[in-house]
Structure 1
Amino acid sequence: MAFETTPTVFDGHNDVLLKLYRAGGLAAAESFISGCEGAIDLPKSQAGGFGGGFFAVYVPSPTDRALKFDEMTKPRYDMPLPDPIAWKDAIEVVMAQSAILFEMEKLGALKICRSAADIRACLEEGKMAAIFHIEGAEGIDPDFHTLEVLYQAGLRSLGPVWSRSTIFGHGVPFRYPSTGDTGPGLTEDGKRLVKACNEMGIMIDLSHLNEAGFWDVAKLSDAPLVATHSNAYAICPHSRNLTDDQLAAIRDSDGMVGLNFAVAFLREDGRMIPDVPLEQMLRHLDHLITHLGEDRVGMGSDYDGAVVPPDLTTCAGLPKLRQAMAQHGYGDALIAKLCHENWLRVLKKTWGQ
């Protein structure tokens, strides 16, 4: 097997839509085709064998991102969570970022996929495959009217929170060292949201939920448990990472975890310092495979939303990761599973198609 650009990587999380939203919105969508600043665009994707993934709609808080990243370089930190964002303020941003995704499809840059079969067809044809995902449900009203409208528009994956609280539940702060046991879990509206997503076939992303919320979803959901971009707490004791007990629950549900490339969740010391070798990523992969099995681990890069290792600053660097996996002893079949087959498996099981 050639490891230059194959097997194609289908990825659990990116923040391309936020990047384009900040760069000019709809007017910036065309730059994704010709090439733009950041980790993902079509030229970089073709160079690295990046076939698409979960394109997150995310409502940012008015916080100083540089200050946050600077604070997270310290040996210990506890970043206060931003205030909740009201639906009336969030929905405008949700609509704007969703429109960017639709514009990218109109321009021929990608296809919004509603089934695992759609994704597989895109990967075989060399077309960028996109899952319409929302990270943090501030744009969902408690009557679920917007959930229904967004589902009809193609929404197939939803995280009830991005760390800061919503009407549906509570997330983890960016805290090191810390477990994810940081407060109460799902609200009554959040429990209703889980059931509604199950009924509609919308995947629930556990990545930013705290432990109480995780266990609430595990108790309520009849779908596989999925964390699109999370790592192993046993290696990096960060509030954002998953304990072995959580991994066991995901395994027992026949779910999935996508390896997060963010250096603060990879390093044993939890610091946002980029000098992370690929071997450290393989340590997390080994741990996840040991606790989840070979069929339940994939990639969840957090590209365009995180500081990542220097070998992987853009998706054009993915051949280095494939080669590192091969040199580590992973066989061709396992590498194909980690790159995309496991995502296709769990999405087919979740969506029923």
Structure 2
Amino acid sequence: MSIIDTHCDLLYKMFLDRKVQFAEGNGDADVSYTRLVKAGVVLQWFAIYLPDNPAYYSFDHVLTCIDLFRTRIAACPQVEFIKSRQDFDKLLKDKRKLGAMLTLEGVEGLAANMGNLRTAYDLGVRSIGITWNHANWAADGVGEPRQGGFTVRGKQFINECDRLGIILDVSHLSEKAFWELCEQSSRPFIASHSNAYRICPHVRNLKDDQIRAIIEKNGRIGITFVPAFVRAEHPQIKDLLLHIEHICSLGGENCVGFGSDFDGTDLKIPGLENPAHYCQLVDELHKRYTTEQAERFLSGNWKTYLLKNLPE
């Protein structure tokens, strides 16, 4: 059974510590080639996240992370760098390689420059989360006290991403900005690593009306394993299924996927500490859902989305 995971922060660890390896991994990182293959991951998204410090808000640092991805991950002979529908379709048919897709979490490093955005696209960035928790030049994040929406430049950014075919990601985005994106973007957007607020009322999780809007847009929601987003106290693997069940109850069975956020937090759900443990989640899915439903959640829903929304 194949898996698509839409968020991990291995690149962040590589950026902070150049000794962190992908091919075999080490004790400091959750994600490695060996663990992904053991889990049955067919496509892993790798996020460029820069430290939450203005000293890193430059395009040079974004380029450094892109170079780390291209030379330390995508250059591995057993890895396929996914940039188009054709790349992804070939990956699914070939089944001999691990797919790797490059994303950006927070646009601070683009420095409000659409030329930088286009360069990032040319170098392989295919999905962008507009903010982290705070405000930037484009929009407010969920942790910004004023809870504003998009700036004028931010709305230009939406239009340019739509033109290029970049997938926009609302995880970390403020509610007001979420609804402005919903109104302005002509393309189905995603939440790469967010859960259901009704099940766990964390500011990073999605309210029911937001979930319904993503469903109506035919976007996708990646259920994340960050413990605080799953359950307030002592979360277990089975608690992830409560979020899936709730999204399905709103009509989102075809919109559910997974975005683990491995390497993005030191706290773990017991039994789900790294990608090699995905099998435990697969077992729980099979206890409650049919094989067809489990396959849809693990990869099928993301497959149909990417075959339609990656650029030609």
Deviation (angstroms), 1:340:
1.1
Structure 1 residue aligned with 2:271: 311
Structure 2 residue aligned with 1:67: none
CA distance in 2, matches of 1:105, 1:317: 23
SS where residue 96 of structure 1 aligns?
Answer: helix
Structure 2 residue aligned with 1:55: 46
CA distance in 2, matches of 1:61, 1:250: 28
CA distance in 2, matches of 1:126, 1:291: 36
Flag structure 1 segments of 5+ consecutive residues without an equivalent: 1-6, 63-84, 175-180
Deviation (angstroms), 1:126:
3.3
Structure 2 residue aligned with 1:171: 141
SS where residue 55 of structure 1 aligns?
Answer: strand
- State TM-score, norm by structure 2: 0.93
Structure 2 residue aligned with 1:21: 15
Q: Give yes or no for the alignment of 1:141 onto 2:111.
A: yes
CA distance in 1, matches of 2:100, 2:244: 24
Structure 2 residue aligned with 1:111: 80
| Contact kept? 1:141, 1:147, Cα under 8 Å | no
Give runs of ≥4 in structure 1 deviating > 3 Å: none
CA distance in 1, matches of 2:251, 2:227: 22
CA distance in 1, matches of 2:305, 2:294: 16
CA distance in 1, matches of 2:307, 2:178: 22
Structure 1 residue aligned with 2:59: 91
CA distance in 1, matches of 2:14, 2:78: 14
Deviation (angstroms), 1:318:
0.5
CA distance in 2, matches of 1:312, 1:290: 25
Q: Give yes or no for the alignment of 1:262 onto 2:226.
A: yes
Q: Give yes or no for the alignment of 1:231 onto 2:195.
A: yes
CA distance in 1, matches of 2:251, 2:7: 19
Q: CA RMSD in A?
A: 1.9
CA distance in 2, matches of 1:292, 1:301: 22
Q: Give yes or no for the alignment of 1:36 onto 2:26.
A: yes
Residues 342, 45 of structure 1: alpha-carbon distance in 2 compared, 3 angstrom cutoff: same
CA distance in 1, matches of 2:154, 2:9: 24
> Which whole-Å deviations, capped at 9, do the CAs of 1:79-103 have from their partners, x for residues lacking one?
xxxxxx37x7432321111111101
SS where residue 6 of structure 2 aligns?
Answer: strand
CA distance in 2, matches of 1:10, 1:276: 22
Deviation (angstroms), 1:109:
5.0
Deviation (angstroms), 1:210:
0.6
CA distance in 2, matches of 1:40, 1:106: 16
Structure 2 residue aligned with 1:78: none
Structure 1 residue aligned with 2:304: 345
Flag structure 2 segments of 5+ consecutive residues without an equivalent: none
Deviation (angstroms), 1:122:
2.7
Task: Count residues with an aligned counterpart.
Answer: 308
Deviation (angstroms), 1:276:
1.8
Deviation (angstroms), 1:352:
5.0
Deviation (angstroms), 1:182:
5.6
CA distance in 2, matches of 1:109, 1:89: 33
Same amino acid, percent of matched pairs: 30
- State TM-score, norm by structure 1: 0.83
CA distance in 1, matches of 2:294, 2:16: 35
Residues 46, 311 of structure 1: alpha-carbon distance in 2 compared, 3 angstrom cutoff: same
Q: Give yes or no for the alignment of 1:122 onto 2:91.
A: yes
Structure 2 residue aligned with 1:201: 165
1:231-310 correspondence runs (5 A): 231-267=195-231, 269=232, 275-306=234-265, 307-310=267-270
Q: Name the amino acid aligned to 1:43.
A: T
Deviation (angstroms), 1:117:
3.9
Deviation (angstroms), 1:115:
2.2
CA distance in 2, matches of 1:158, 1:19: 19
Deviation (angstroms), 1:348:
2.6
| Contact kept? 1:182, 1:211, Cα under 8 Å | no
Deviation (angstroms), 1:105:
1.7
CA distance in 2, matches of 1:89, 1:190: 16
Q: Name the amino acid aligned to 1:35.
A: G
Residues 246, 46 of structure 1: alpha-carbon distance in 2 compared, 3 angstrom cutoff: same
